[in-house]
Amino acid sequence: MVVAASMPVLYLVQERLPDAGLSLAFRPASLWDGQWWPGILTSMFVHGGWPHVAMNAVAALAFGPPVARLMGGPKGVAGFLLFYIACGLVATAGYGLIHPASYDSLVGASGAVFGLMGAALRLLGRRDRGLRRLGDPRFLTPALVIMGVNAAAGLVGLAPGMEGARVAWEAHAFGFLCGALLIGPWAKAFESRRTSFASPPDLGDPEA
């Protein structure tokens, strides 16, 4: 997938920037002081290291295809990329709203990737490419597990000696919810023409 492949390529470029891409990070306080609004977008294209890149690329490869298959053709490609970016923007903005006074740098595509995850969970296992209801246990159960693990990961930075290992779990949560909610209207706008694979009840010869 292009999104996953772009992550290591962009990180190679990032490593060669004078500030290693730090100026492209998002700082929540910029939502209010106007210092660096573009960071709300550019931060999802830079990462904090190769392990960070690898985790997001693998997750994008795992959860991106079901969403991409829903949207075919040139219009679908544009729709997929816009969906990915929209989830990332919501994730970053949500994090900024929760930490309005923070000047800590936020980088990474995790919020956008969690958006793909939320959307994919509503699509997986549906042969007709329809969406699972938000209240369907087959969506709700894995969603709660993922959000529980995500919240637990956010506690890592509170452990003694792990102050530098903060995880922006709130951004992940916002991205996941955005993907799960947005995929419905997005599918109506960008979904490729459905192809039915259902067999008729009577498998005899077709009528002349």
Averaged pLDDT for residues 117-132 = 81
Closest Cα partner for 124 from 96, 143, 110? 143
- Cα–Cα distance measured from residue 75 to residue 95, given in angstroms and rounded to the nearest whole number: 30
Tell me 35's DSSP state: S
The residue extents of the domains of the chain are: 2-190
Q: What percent of the chain has pLDDT over 90?
A: 50
Average pLDDT, the chain: 83
Q: Tokens 């903005």 appear where?
A: 93
The answer, yes or no, to whether residue 197 has pLDDT greater than 70, is: no
pLDDT confidence of residue 132: 87
- Cα–Cα distance measured from residue 123 to residue 10, given in angstroms and rounded to the nearest whole number: 29
Closest Cα partner for 130 from 183, 171, 58? 183
Q: Which tens digit of pLDDT belongs to each residue from 19-45?
A: 998 889 999 998 888 776 788 999 999
Averaged pLDDT for residues 191-198 = 48
The answer, yes or no, to whether residue 202 has pLDDT greater than 60, is: no
pLDDT confidence of residue 156: 62
The answer, yes or no, to whether residue 203 has pLDDT greater than 60, is: no
Question: What CATH number was assigned to the domain covering residues 2-190?
Answer: 1.20.1540.10
pTM of the model: 0.84
Q: Which tens digit of pLDDT belongs to each residue from 129-172?
A: 578 888 889 899 999 999 999 988 877 654 343 344 467 899 99
pLDDT confidence of residue 193: 55
